[in-house]
Every structure is written in structure tokens, then in C-alpha cells.
Chain A
Amino acid sequence: MSEFTGLGADLGMSTGTIPAVASPQTPKLPPREWVRANLFSSPFNSVLTVVSSLIILAITRGLLSFIFNPQRQWDATATNLRLLMTQAYPEEQYLRIWVSVAVILTLTGLSLAVWRAGSAVSIANVGRRLLSFGCTLALFALLAPFSARATIIWLLIAVAVAGGGGTLRRLADSERTISTLALVLIGLSGLVGSLWVVPYGNHTFELHRTPRVIAEPGTVALSTKFPWTIMLLIAVAAYFLGTYLRDRGSLNATRTTLALLWLLMPPVLLYLVLRDPDFDMGHVFGTDIPIFLACAVLGGALLNWLARPSTGEIGRIVAALVLIAAFATFLTPMRMIVRLDLLMLAAFALAAPTFSGGPRARRNYVIGWLGLLGVMSWLVTAVNTPSTIEVPGQFFLGGLSLTLMVAIFTIVISFPLGLALALARTSNMPIFRLLATWFIEFVRGVPMITILIFFSIMVPLFLPPGMHLSEVAAVIIGYSLFSAAYLAENVRGGLQSVTRGQHEAAEAVGMTTSQKTMFIVLPQALRVSIPPLVGHCIGVFKETSLLAIIGLFDVLYIARNVMPNQTEFMGSTKENILFVSLIYWLFCYQMSKASQRLEQRTGLGER
């Protein structure tokens, strides 16, 4: 356990930047007086307390009787976990899923260390939490419709937890703290360890010939517990690698690299790992790479020239010409990738004066161009390459993985789009303002289901011949546009909160409009918009359940329409819905907590 305390000390130091001011605390009331003062202070309050306690007890008892009713088919969820997570992803390719999970966990572990996540809590406080958890557990054991023997076992467990918490609270030095990350690690190790020890039962769906359910007593299948153990070890290893990088390497470089890796992670995992594309090497070397190289060399040279401070006005004219040329390519038959490359080059060319400077600044700018161009070229190639994963249905993912994928892609795509819309709507240029306002008002006036149906059915009809867009991609584009319109309105609120004095101060030191927007206005506006933005992300995550309407198998659809129709689990809808809502809640609650921490962190500098 010494490594945990080491971990705690390590993280405790990092949060020690805020000076602990000992304020005169209001003396703590003994429990009896606290109850009197807060729950029974007047006859009316006493009535309220009694009535609401009765209601809470009734609800808890109802819920517990539902969950522990022997008629409940919980083995439906246990057996169908794989279906809920990945739908029909082939079992022999499952290593790809685990690799993806491992990549995500590695990045998480590294980021937790590099961004110094987690805080220190006093051990006495942990003891208090355990004590109250034990008491709640005891209450549940009494309320639940258990047999006498089960009730006694659960009561014993509850007493053990509460007793442990109580002794911890009393014995622990009030100065001793432990990192929240260490607590999470202890909890996760307990969970993973229990997979090897506790007989949860071994549930599998045997798909060969006649599908049948196998439910055996004992611990869970090796194909579940072994990978999860490895995953936990990978996450811990990544964390310690992160602390090493944080302390030895250059912090800013590490953070930039990590942020880029996070951005690259979704497309790489989806298109390279999960989808397993079957690249046509002849085409790649004959067409894709030459186009990339031509764009890279010519674009790089052009941008290097444009980012020279001495280029001046003629640079803006050239950039505008590139933009016109990019739009003109849409009028003639041409490869889509060439059009996209030109559009991106135009954007870079227009922004070049903002980032102009000495050789170093120019080199960074050209590197940025090459990086983005490379990612986009590769992505377009990968998207147009057929997948080798064979699954029934239209998309190779389903269940929670589809839900997560759509949510992540939508948020990542709609974020810059929403920013651009918000800036356009507040800009001085009437054309941008008008276009943005119309777009936002139109999208907000149409139900999301309409947009999803439109993009899944209608858009493929409008595409030029030879261009193919998978239904999921079309839907993600539609969903992103929808989400961007709402996001733009959230950001606009933040933009308006930046005072006129800030604009003037930035202008007075000679910043251009784009520099002012990027370094002064947006950082402040985004900080103000954190709560509505996170609320928006939670909404995006939950509304992916509407994908069912256009025939995609998201996690809710599987729980509601697929599992209850399996012969073994007829009518298990209620249980499945309860389980799925637990999954949704877990994710949304984490986002909400993350938002609170982000607010605390970014608010540090102000006032």
C-alpha cells in the first residue's frame, strides 16, 4: 500500500498551491442537536421531515423489491453484455476492441498524471464516507425483500464497512490525506479482483449452430476477467509513465502532444483499428500519396512565403485567390480530396498573417499545415477503403460503442463549427452574420429527428455520382450541424460576457482582430461557457438514443427491442432499461463532475 501513499503525497503537493487559510470554523454540533436544529426546528419542519423520510423509504423499498425480485431476468443483461457493448462485432476480432480500450486507458492515465488530476482528501473524511455508506447499506439490507439468511449476511457486511469507516475516522490523523486517484485505484482493483474471486456466474451466448444460453455458476469467463485485469495494469502503468514524463520532460510539449493524440485517437481507432480497412496499395502509392506530396510541397512553400511579415498586402490577395480557386474546383469534375486540400490551404493562407513571424514561427506554421494535411489525406483514404470486418447490418459497431462513437465524433466536429458560427454571428461583417444567423435559426427550428432522417435518406441522393457516404457518416454530419447550432448560441453568451474594456485593451496594443479573438476573447468566453457547454455535451450523449429511429443499433435500442425478443429472455425490457439508464447516468455524471472540476481550475486566476 506504500505506493498509494506515495501517490497521495505526490498529488497532495500539486494541489498545495492554494494557501490553506484557517478560517474560524463554526463549531460542529453534536448529532442530537444537529438533528434538532436542522430537521425538527419547528412543528411544520418536523412534519416535512417525517413525510419526506417516509416517501424516500417507500421509494427505496419499491426499487429494492423490484431489483431483488426472483422473477427478474438479470441474467438477460449478464448474458447480453457483449451485445450491449459492441453488438455483433465478431468474436475472433475482439482483440481490436481491447486494443482500442487500452489506447483510451493509456491516454487517460497519461493525461491524469500530466494534468495533475485528482485532489487530496483526508483519511478521516474517507472514514466518514465509509461509515455513512455502511449505514445506508444496512438500511437497504433491512428494506430489501431478502431471505432471513441473506439479510443477516448483508447486515454483517454493512456493519463491517461502517465499523471500518468508524475506526478509520477515529484513528486517522486529521492531517493525513490520500489522493482521490489512489481511492479510485483501490476501488477499481477491488472490482477487478472480485472478477477472479466472487462467483458472479459465467454467462455466455453460444452462437454456433443453434444459439443457446450457457449460464454456469462460478466466476466470470476468462475472456472477461483476464482482459480487464490487463487493462487496469495498463492504466496504472500509463499513469506512472505520465508522472515520469511530467517531471523529466518538457511539460508544455508533453501536454501539446497528448492533446493532439486525444484528437487523433477517435479516427485512428475507428478507421485503422476497429474497421480494419483493406488498403489497395496500388491506389495508395499511385494516387493518394502523390496528391498528398504535391499539396504538401506546393502548399508548404506558399504558406512559408505568406507567413513572412514582409509579404504584406499581396499575401491577402493571393489567399483570396486560393479560396476562389478552391470553390471553383467544385464546378469541374475532380477528385474530392483535391477540393478539400485546396479549401484547407485557403483557410491556412487566410490565417497566415496572424501567425507570421520569424523562421521559427513560419516553420511551426508549415508543420501545422503538413500535419493537418497528412491526417486529412489519410482519413479520406481510410474512409474510402472497404472494411474487412464482416457483420450483419449496416454498421460494424453497435450498442454502447456506437453510442460513444457518435457522441465523441459529434462533439469533436461540432465544437470548432459552433465556435466559428458564434464568431460569425457576432462579427462585424454583415454577410457572415446573416449566414450564421439564418443557419442557426433554421437548424434550431427543425426537430432533430427530421435532420437525422434527412441526412440518412435524402443526402445520399443529392451526392454527386461516384461519391459514397455511409449512413453513419451522413448521420454524424447532420447531428454535428444540429449540435453546432446550439453550441454556437452557448458560446455567443460567453462572447458577450467579455467586456468592451478587454476588446479595447487588446486593440490598444495593436493586435489584429484574429489575434484579439484567439488570445483574449475566446479563452475568456469559453471559460464562462463551460457549464452550458458541458450541459450541451451531456445532451448530445443522451440524444444519440434517437439513432434507433433511422435503424442503427444503439445501446438503448438493443435493450428495448432486441433483448426482450430473444426466446430465453422474453419480456425483460424493464430490467434492461434500468441497466441502460445506469450506464447513461454513469457517463453523464462523470461529465458533470468533470465540468465542476474544470470550473474550479479555470476560475483560479480570477478574483
Chain B
Amino acid sequence: MTDAATEPTAEPMSEPAAGQTRDLSNARDMIVCEDVSKWYGDFQALDGISTTIKEQEVVVVLGPSGSGKSTWIRCINRLEVHQEGRIVVDDVELTNDLRNIEQIRSEVGMVFQQFNLFPHLKVIDNVSLAPIWVRKKPRVEAEEQAMALLERVGIPEQAHKYPGQLSGGQQQRVAIARALAMEPRIMLFDEVTSALDPEMVKEVLDIMKTLALSGMTMMVVTHEMGFAKEVADRIIFMEEGQIVEQGTPQHFFENPTEDRTKLFLSQIL
């Protein structure tokens, strides 16, 4: 595996298993949000979000529909523009400067609910296109890396098909491989299993678990409570554009402090 982003970092990790509280207090800050707000016209989508996400941390964002989860995660690679506050990703502040945006986007991988694969390109070209043109890798090297990634997500035999010929789960796995091909330091997952048939959810979640174990910094918007319990270092619960409560999975699922969180949990569990 030549993929640098997936190699575990040199510093020894205290525990191999995810889900248990890891001590990340010494890790450096990957994403810093300070008082981030955003409006769509008169509607306030984000209302003073402040939090810090450490390197290697896996953060799961929960909350009812329309609570601003997706808007927030999309602000982090500037698919949406925040209007107030600061977002600093890997020590680069998000501003209107195009070079900053392009630099951050090539270091932040994103996987979408609707896959958004490029339908006119074969699977392998979907994965290798950005490394060739953005990272300026030689084509042969980029294709070798793409094949290695497809093997990692378990579908090397589909490399020369078009996305339309694949099942939903396979497409989402290609989308993950496409994001990983840029060797990102952070991965954003925006409700990646919501558009999948139930029997395909597991194959995608399994890959995300392996990724989390390999030490990737991840921010996951999802409705999969099992995944949140098992993999997350921290759970952030949002409503109406605000962070209502955050904490470890044990804290969040077993003894939440806020009434709103209790109501949410009683509705979904």
C-alpha cells in the first residue's frame, strides 16, 4: 500500500480497538471551528458552532433532519460558504482565496449521499482522474494506486465498468476510493448510507470502520446509531444549527444531560 494517508502514524496508539475512549488530547488540531454561522436568506442554518477536531479523531454528527449537520460538514471543504466565524483546516484558514480552497479540498476527502460518481468515466478513471490532474501524478502510477484502492474497498474486478453498471453499495465504495486516492488527511462522510438498500449498508460501513481504525481523521454525518456507538470517539448532537450536546458514545447513549438529546434518543432507539 503506497497510500500515505492510510498508514498508521508513527506514534504508538494506546489501543487498537475503536469505540473505546482514546486519549487524543495531545494530538494536534485538524479542524477548528470558531463561532461559525450561516444563513440561507432569512433562515439561519448554522448558529455559532464552535468545536475542535483532533488528528485521528472520529466524530459522528447526529441530529434530526434540517438541523444543519450537512451544511456544517459541507462548510468544512467550502462547498458551502460560512458567513461568520472562522474555520481552520489543517492550519489553513478558509477564506475566499482560491488557492486556499483548492489546497484544502485536495486534503479533505468527501463522500456524498448520492455517490456523485462521474457517469461518463470508467470506475478506474473515476478514481485516478484527480490524482493525475490535481496531484500531477504520472498516469501509470495513478492507475496502480487506483487499483490498490479498489482492492482495498473490495471491488477490483469492477475497475473497467461504468458506474451505472454497479450496485449502490459498490458505487459508494468507489466513491470512497475516489476520495482516498487524493491521499486526504481528513475524510467527510455526508449521510453516505442513506441512499442505499439495507443489505448494502453493511459493506459500506465496514470500509468506514477499517478506515477509522487506520487512523484517519473522520467526520461522519449519519443515522446509523450502531456505527456511531462502535466507531466514534466523540458524538456531536445538533439541532437548529447549534451544537446541543457532545461527548463520548457511552456518555451520549447512556446518560445524556440535555432533554432534547433524551427526546431524540427515545424517538430513534
Contacts and interface: CB of A to CB of B under 8 A. Distances in A.
Interface stretch (A86-94, A165-173, A504-512, A566-574): A504-512
A209 interface: no
Contact of B118 (A358, A502, A512): A502
A358 B120 contact: no
B120 A509 contact: no
Nearest to A604: B162
Contact of A509 (B119, B162, B179): B179
Interface string A569-607: 000000000000000000000000000000000101111
A309 interface: yes
Interface string B155-167: 0000000111100
A502 B162 contact: no
Nearest to B133: A515
B77 interface: yes
Interface residues of B, number: 33
Contact of B116 (A358, A361, A505): A505
Contact of B134 (A504, A505, A515): A515
Contacts of B102: 510, 512
Nearest to A358: B136
A505 B182 contact: no
B129 interface: yes
- Interface size range on A against B: 20 to 34
Interface string B130-142: 1001101010000
Contacts of A607: 164
Contacts of B181: 509
B92 to A, nearest CB: 13
A430 B96 CA distance: 18
Prevailing SS type, chain A contact patch: helix
B173 interface: no
Contacts of B175: 505
Contacts of B253: none
A519 B132 CA distance: 12
Given A502-B118, A508-B79, A510-B106, A605 B112 contact: no
Contacts of A309: 136
Interface string B72-100: 00000101000000000000000000010
B228 interface: no
B130 A509 contact: yes
Interface of A: 309, 313, 356-358, 360-361, 499, 501-502, 504-512, 515, 519-520, 523-524, 527, 602, 604-607
6 contacts: A501-B112, A504-B116, A505-B112, A524-B120, A605-B122, A606-B164
Given A602-B120, A606-B162, 5 more contacts: A502-B116, A504-B112, A505-B112, A509-B105, A606-B164
**A-B pairs, 7 with minimum CB distance:** A510-B106, A605-B162, A505-B116, A509-B130, A357-B136, A501-B116, A508-B110
